[in-house]
Structure 1
Amino acid sequence: MTTNNNHINPFDKISGSASLAKPRVILLLFGSIALIALLLAKMGIAGIGLVLALFCGSIYIYTVFKNPIIGFYTAIGYNFIVLGIGRYVKDLPLGFGIDGLMILTFLALIFSRFRDRVDWSPANKDITILAAVWLVYFILQLANPEARMIEPWIAGRGTGFYFFFFIILTFMLINTNKRLDTFLYLWGAFSILATLKGIGQMVFGVDTAEQAWLDRGGAVTHILFGKLRVFSFFSDAGQFGGNQGYSGVVFIIFSMAKKGFPRIFFLIAGILGLYGMMISGTRGSIAVPFAGFMTFFVLRRNIRLLGTGILLVVLLFVFFKFTMIANGNAQIRRMRTGFDPNNPSLLIRKANQQILKGYLASRPFGGGIGHAGDKALRFLPNAFLSHVATDSWYVMIWAEMGIIGLILHLCILFYVIGVASFKVMFRIRDPITKLKMSALISGMVGVMLASYGNGVLGGMPTGLLIYASMALMSNPQIFEEPIIEKEPELIAT
Structure 2
Amino acid sequence: MNNNKDTNPFDKLSGSAILENPKVILWVFLSVSFIAIIVAKLKVAGVGLFLALLFGGVFIYIVFKNPIIGFFTAIAYNFVVLGIGRYITGLPLGFGIDGLILLTILAIIFSKFRDRVDWSPAYRDITILAAVWLGYFILQIGNPEARMIEPWIAGRGIGFYFFFFIVLTFMLINTNKRLDAFLYVWGAFSILATFKGIVQMVFGVDAAEQAWLDRGGAVTHVLFGKLRVFSFFSDAGQFGGNQGYAGVVFLIYSMAKKGIPKIFFITVGVLGLYGMLISGTRGSIAVPFAGFMTFFVLRKNIKIISAGFISVALIFIFFKYTMIANSNAQIRRMRTGFDPNNPSLLVRKANQEILKGYLASRPIGGGIGHAGDKAQRFLPNAFLSHVATDSWYVMIWAEMGIVGLFMHLGILFYVIGMASFKVMFRIRDPNTKFKMSALISGMAGVMLASYGNAVLGGMPTSLLFYSSMAIMSNPQIFEEPIIEEEKTELIKKLN
Fold similarity call, TM over 0.5 = yes
Instruction: Please name the residue that 2:186 is paired with.
Output: 187
Query: In the aligned structure 2, how far is the partner of 1:433 from the partner of 1:345?
Result: 41
Read off the aligned partner of 1:243 and give its amino acid letter.
N
Query: The residue matched to 1:47 in structure 2 has which SS?
Result: helix
Instruction: Please name the residue that 1:105 is paired with.
Output: 104
Instruction: Please name the residue that 1:363 is paired with.
Output: 362
Query: In the aligned structure 1, how far is the partner of 2:408 from the partner of 2:213?
Result: 33
Of 472-481 and 90-99, deviating more is 472-481
Task: Report the Cα offset of residue 45 of structure 1.
Answer: 2.0
Query: In the aligned structure 1, how far is the partner of 2:487 from the partner of 2:317?
Result: 51
Instruction: Please name the residue that 2:116 is paired with.
Output: 117
Instruction: Please name the residue that 1:173 is paired with.
Output: 172
How many aligned residue pairs are there? 491
Query: The residue matched to 1:480 in structure 2 has which SS?
Result: helix
Of 373-382 and 53-62, deviating more is 53-62
Instruction: Please name the residue that 2:272 is paired with.
Output: 273
Q: How does 1:335-350 map to 2 (within 5 A)?
A: 335-350=334-349
Query: In the aligned structure 1, how far is the partner of 2:156 from the partner of 2:2?
Result: 59
Structure 1 19/198 Cα, relative in aligned 2: closer, same or farther at 3 Å? same
Structure 1 14/288 Cα, relative in aligned 2: closer, same or farther at 3 Å? same
Instruction: Please name the residue that 2:199 is paired with.
Output: 200
Instruction: Please name the residue that 2:249 is paired with.
Output: 250
Read off the aligned partner of 2:426 and give its amino acid letter.
R
Task: Report the Cα offset of residue 355 of structure 1.
Answer: 0.2
Read off the aligned partner of 1:258 and give its amino acid letter.
K
Task: Report the Cα offset of residue 457 of structure 1.
Answer: 0.2
Query: The residue matched to 1:118 in structure 2 has which SS?
Result: coil
Instruction: Please name the residue that 1:484 is paired with.
Output: 483
Structure 1 6/411 Cα, relative in aligned 2: closer, same or farther at 3 Å? farther
Instruction: Please name the residue that 1:324 is paired with.
Output: 323
Give per-residue Cα distances to partners, 1:93-114, cap 9 Å, x unaligned: 0000000000001111110111
Instruction: Please name the residue that 2:381 is paired with.
Output: 382
Query: In the aligned structure 1, how far is the partner of 2:257 from the partner of 2:309?
Result: 25
TM-score (norm: length of structure 1): 0.97
Give per-residue Cα distances to partners, 1:178-199, cap 9 Å, x unaligned: 1111110110010000000000
Query: The residue matched to 2:376 in structure 1 has which SS?
Result: helix
Give per-residue Cα distances to partners, 1:416-448, cap 9 Å, x unaligned: 000000111111111111100100000010000
Structure 1 8/467 Cα, relative in aligned 2: closer, same or farther at 3 Å? farther
Task: Report the Cα offset of residue 20 of structure 1.
Answer: 4.9
Read off the aligned partner of 2:29 and give its amino acid letter.
F
Q: How does 1:275-424 map to 2 (within 5 A)?
A: 275-424=274-423
Instruction: Please name the residue that 1:230 is paired with.
Output: 229
Q: How does 1:142-153 map to 2 (within 5 A)?
A: 142-153=141-152
Instruction: Please name the residue that 2:28 is paired with.
Output: 29
Read off the aligned partner of 2:471 and give its amino acid letter.
L
Query: In the aligned structure 1, how far is the partner of 2:118 from the partner of 2:271?
Result: 40
Task: Report the Cα offset of residue 239 of structure 1.
Answer: 0.2
Query: In the aligned structure 2, how far is the partner of 1:179 from the partner of 1:259?
Result: 17
Read off the aligned partner of 1:476 and give its amino acid letter.
P
Read off the aligned partner of 2:290 and give its amino acid letter.
A
Give per-residue Cα distances to partners, 1:290-333, cap 9 Å, x unaligned: 00000000111111011000000000111111111111110000
Instruction: Please name the residue that 1:132 is paired with.
Output: 131
Instruction: Please name the residue that 2:64 is paired with.
Output: 65
Read off the aligned partner of 2:96 and give its amino acid letter.
G
Task: Report the Cα offset of residue 4 of structure 1.
Answer: 5.7
Read off the aligned partner of 2:378 and give its amino acid letter.
F
Query: The residue matched to 1:452 in structure 2 has which SS?
Result: coil
Query: In the aligned structure 1, how far is the partner of 2:29 from the partner of 2:167?
Result: 42
Read off the aligned partner of 1:185 and give its amino acid letter.
Y
Query: The residue matched to 2:451 in structure 1 has which SS?
Result: coil
Structure 1 211/369 Cα, relative in aligned 2: closer, same or farther at 3 Å? same
Structure 1 position 38 matched with structure 2 position 40: no
Give the fraction of aligned pairs with identical amino acids, expressed as a percent. Answer: 79
Give per-residue Cα distances to partners, 1:385-427, cap 9 Å, x unaligned: 0000000000000000000000000000000000000111111
Structure 1 246/8 Cα, relative in aligned 2: closer, same or farther at 3 Å? farther
Unaligned runs of 5+ in 1: none
Query: In the aligned structure 2, how far is the partner of 1:30 from the partner of 1:45?
Result: 22
Query: In the aligned structure 2, how far is the partner of 1:222 from the partner of 1:193?
Result: 20
Query: In the aligned structure 2, how far is the partner of 1:445 from the partner of 1:8?
Result: 64
Task: Report the Cα offset of residue 258 of structure 1.
Answer: 0.7
Task: Report the Cα offset of residue 30 of structure 1.
Answer: 2.3
Task: Report the Cα offset of residue 236 of structure 1.
Answer: 0.2
Read off the aligned partner of 2:31 and give its amino acid letter.
S
Please give the root-mean-square deviation of Cα atoms over the aligned residues, in Å.
1.8
Query: The residue matched to 1:413 in structure 2 has which SS?
Result: helix
